[in-house]
Amino acid sequence: MSTATSNREQRVHDLRSFVRRLEQDGELLRISRAVDPGAELAGVMAALERERKAFIFENVKGASYPLLGGTLNKLERFGLALGADPASFGDAEFDQLLEQAKANPLEPVEVSAGPSQSVVLQGDDIDLYSLPVPKFFELDSGRFITAAIGITRHPESGIYNVGVYRTLLIGRDRCVINASSMSDLRQHYLAWEASGQPMPIALAIGVDPAMLTAAACKLPPDSCEFRVGGALQGAPIELVRCVSNDLLVPAQAEFIIEGTVDFGERVQNLLGEFAGQYGPENAPATQVTAITHRPDAMFYSIMAGRNPEHNTLGNVAVYGVQRSIDGAIREAVPEAKRIHAFLEPGLGTLAHVVISIDKTDDDQPQDIIRRAFAGGGHIFPVSMITKRIIVVDDDIDVTKMDDVQWAIWNRAATERKFMVIPDIKSWELERAAKEGQLSVRIGIDATMDLADVDKLVRPIVPGADQIRLEDYVDPPGGKKSAA
């Protein structure tokens, strides 16, 4: 990591410049009316999310800072923030930009001072309840910070990990930073606990969009999200040393919460999750040792649950999971023509996969379904993260679900075409799974039985996809000339 003084003139290098841009574009709404941090705040946030607006609550009751949110609740805003063309920025463009950044990481720089440490609060001045932290859902355990990036270092390798981890407030100077079993933070917790040393941890809130996006990426444990953040931003991420521990944290953030993990207190907690269910978690408590912030700091919050910003950011990890499933199935099923793996919050937390084949015998699809579920994958085994695998003939477009549905409901007439595979070890986020995290998997053979091929052919008009209506329809007030 090189050392430099802070000197940058970049496009979006902090959250504030992005917020100014959104406000100029009429994309940001201000709420000056006093709002209660309980159901009232969550209700208004959810309504603003439905409008896909960014927002600032200037007066959250009991809080000393404004609450900002919704800046990334549309995909095109990522395009705007990351220097791409917002008008044509979709999932494919986003996925590609992330892959480029991962392949060309940019080392962060350490700076001697930064705005995130303009105000330093320690000792009795620490009060997490002075932050406008919402309680989102009825049965949530309490108030949750949802847009913090958690920063830790592995005790042996020294490699930094950064991820978005929901954090429950349990006291003026105590919180619980959650880490799912697949997260690198969980591995850091385990390694520090085993080492017997105190574990330093920091949360940065209100980081620039590139850094927040990088934190949401699922990277291998030996890669560092600061480097991907720099690549996405087009300039190195600036880091400053914490005031109460040795960690480096973003110099341009709005807030930094510094702490030490207390493995002596584990806290069971509950929050409404991205797929629209409650998710129980259990994590060690953190003793907060300092809060630092900008002079006129804005707190950032992401509306929890099945809501737009949570899901656009969640997609950052989803792209990688889809790639991993695709790669594993391609290896397990070399005869696959096309494979489409997708995760959508509306279909739960698990993936669905469509595989097209040029079928040679009627047992082949079931065999393919079994082999595909048995595939590996660098993030998860396929069976753990995939709920349903559908095999279709090669005339079906695997990316068009109405085409795939048509095949399922028009080409399958025997029970052997619908496979129910019981007792599969599932991902913990499949909340419906039973004892031992066991759940069912579904395979559907939506191919034509070979004996029926003649009667199940789809009616097509030859050459229809080449027709251009403008070559035929008369223009207003005139007649099309003969070809």
Residue with tokens 């110099």: 251
Q: What are the structure tokens assigned to 68, written together?
A: 């900002």
Residue selected from 13, 218, 293, 441 as contacting ligand FMN according to rule CB under 6 A = 218
- As measured in angstroms, the least distance from the Cβ of 182 to ligand FMN is 7
Tell me: does residue 322 bind ligand FMN (CB under 6 A). Answer: no
* Residue 18 C-beta: closest distance to ligand FMN, Å: 17
417 binds ligand FMN (CB under 6 A): no
Least distance from ligand FMN to the Cβ atom of residue 165, Å: 5
Estimate to the nearest angstrom the gap between the alpha carbon of 1 and the chain centroid.
27
**Residue 217 binding ligand FMN, by CB under 6 A:** yes
Closest CB to ligand FMN among residues 10, 180:
180
Q: Does 313 bind ligand FMN (CB under 6 A)?
A: yes
227: left (phi over 0), alpha (psi -120 to 50) or beta: alpha
Applying the rule CB under 6 A, the residues between 10 and 49 that interact with ligand FMN are none
Only one of the segments 210-218, 261-269, 328-336, 382-390 lies at the binding site for ligand FMN (rule: CB under 6 A); that segment is: 210-218
Q: Nearest-CA neighbor of 253 among 305, 300, 185, 310?
A: 300
- How many residues of this chain bind ligand FMN (CB under 6 A)? 20
Beta strands in 184-277 (DSSP E): 199-205, 238-241, 248-250, 255-272
Spell out, one character per residue from 233 to 272, where the chain touches ligand FMN: x when CB under 6 A holds, - when not.
Answer: ----------------------------------------
210 binds ligand FMN (CB under 6 A): no
Report in angstroms how near the CB of residue 184 gets to ligand FMN at its nearest: 4
Task: Output the smallest distance, CB 409 to ligand FMN, in A.
Answer: 35
Instruction: List the x/- string, 101-140, binding to ligand FMN by CB under 6 A.
Output: ----------------------------------------
Residues ≥6 apart with Cβ < 8 Å to 320: 98, 217, 218, 379
Residue from the set 294, 310, 340, 371 that interacts with ligand FMN by CB under 6 A: 310
Residue among 117, 178, 301, 324 that touches ligand FMN (CB under 6 A):
178
Region binding ligand FMN by CB under 6 A among candidate stretches 94-102, 230-238, 309-317, 389-397: 309-317
Min separation Cβ 225 and ligand FMN, Å: 7
Which candidate, 114, 124, 400, 354, places its Cα nearest to that of 241? 114
Distance CA 320, CA 163 (A): 15
Coil/strand/helix, residue 197: coil
Rounded to whole angstroms, the Cα distance separating 304 from 218 reads: 20
By 3-state DSSP, what share of the chain in percent is helix, strand and coil, each rounded to 5? 30, 25, 40
Least Cα distance to 449 among 326, 351, 366, 337 occurs for 366
Mark residue 81 as left, alpha or beta (left: phi above 0; alpha: psi -120 to 50; beta: remaining).
alpha
Query: Which residues does residue 287 pair with via DSSP β-bridges, in sequence order?
Result: 174, 260
Nearest CB to ligand FMN, comparing residues 178 and 426: 178
Least CB distance to ligand FMN at residue 310 (A): 5
225's tokens:
């999200």
CA of 132: how far to CAs of 68, 146, 334, 385, 429, in Å? 10, 12, 53, 35, 28
Dist CA 187 CA 163 (whole Å): 13
Question: Per CB under 6 A, which region of 313-321, 356-364, 384-392, 437-445 contacts ligand FMN?
Answer: 313-321
Q: What residues form DSSP beta bridges with 67?
A: 57, 299
Distance of CA 228 to the CA centre of its chain: 15
Site residues (CB under 6 A) for ligand FMN, limited to 154-173: 161, 163-166
Q: Which of residues 179-208 bind ligand FMN (CB under 6 A)?
A: 179-180, 183-185
Q: Kindly state whether residue 314 participates in binding ligand FMN, applying the rule CB under 6 A.
A: yes
Binding site for ligand FMN (CB under 6 A): 146, 161, 163-166, 178-180, 183-185, 216-218, 302, 310, 313-314, 317
